[in-house]
Amino acid sequence: MADGRDRPEAGRERSMVLVLFCLAIGGVLGWGAWSQARDHWTLASRGIAVEGRVLGYEEVRGRRSTTTYPVLGFRTPDGRVVRARSGVAAAPSELPPGSPVRIVYDPADPASNARTAVALAAGPGVTPWILGGLAALMAGLGVVLALPRRAVRAAATPPGGEARAPIATAPRDGTEILVHCQESTPDPAGGTRSFEVARPARFDRTRGTWVTTDQWRDTVHPASWSRLPNPPR
């Protein structure tokens, strides 16, 4: 008895998992790009500039490198003392601890969104663009994977091909042939709708089953086969 995972429905389920994975990763990357760009635009549009100092640095260690972010100290016009980590990395040699510096902060959240005036003038940097590009790439891949596969409806005698024969008579030496099998799609009226398709495939001796040679590499259980159509001249 054939394992249920070898059926076309299992292939479609795997494709749906890949679609959801790509869209989820794209969403996370897109949120990261938007968050960083939002912080920059908020400061550029409504940030308040004050004089402050570099109190020190916080290190963020990665697998291969360490990034340092300056810790900024400043006083708001209403007398509140604020300690905030800059959202833009800097080297201690450029801004030594204790150095006076002009700071721009978000009046709605000064402790979480503040950076030096020089860093703000340099723009949002390349990180939001990189994250946004990766997000678009993953979302596009998810959309492509979600598109319905093209299926060629079988005919009794394909153009340039031969009449069908029982699958038991098909060559099993790796020759690519056209297999004819049943597939199904959800019916808007309820249940499923079955139809017959023809797909190029080869016999996989390792699996002992027929496997399509398209991008999906589905395991199929055809009832008949025919030669591939002759290429157009």
Determine contact, residues 180/196, Cβ cutoff 8 Å. Answer: yes
Distance CA 175, CA 193 (A): 31
Q: What is the per-residue pLDDT for 162?
A: 58
Distance CA 209, CA 141 (A): 29
Q: What is the per-residue pLDDT for 124?
A: 75
Average pLDDT over residues 124-134: 79
Q: What is the per-residue pLDDT for 154?
A: 40
Measured N-to-C along each axis, helices 127-146 and 8-46 cross at an angle, to the nearest 10 degrees, of 150
pTM: 0.47
The DSSP symbol for 169 reads G
Distance CA 53, CA 43 (A): 18
Is pLDDT at 114 greater than 80 in this prediction? yes
60-95 per-position pLDDT tens digit? 887 788 889 999 999 998 889 999 998 888 889 888
Sheet holding 100-105: strands in order across? Answer: 81-85, 66-75, 48-61, 100-105, 114-116
Give percent of the chain above pLDDT 70: 83
Domain spans in the chain, listed from the N-terminal domain onward: 23-142, 151-226
Distance CA 75, CA 167 (A): 82
Q: How confident is the model at residue 171 (pLDDT cuts 50, 70, 90)?
A: very high
Contacts of 141 (CB under 8 A, 6+ apart): 22
Instruction: Decide the pairing of beta strands 100-105 and 114-116.
Output: antiparallel
User: H or E element: which one contains 132?
Assistant: helix 127-146
Q: What is the per-residue pLDDT for 143?
A: 78
Residue 51 CA to chain centroid, in angstroms? 42
Q: How confident is the model at residue 149 (pLDDT cuts 50, 70, 90)?
A: low
Residue whose tokens read 């190029």: 200
Segment of 111-125, 134-148, 179-193, 214-228 carrying the highest mean pLDDT: 214-228
One DSSP character per residue, 173-227 reads SS--EEEEEEEEEE-TTSSEEEEEEEEEEEEETTTTEEEE-STT--EE--SEEEP
21-40 per-position pLDDT tens digit? 888 888 888 887 787 778 88
Segment of 6-10, 14-18, 46-50 carrying the highest mean pLDDT: 46-50
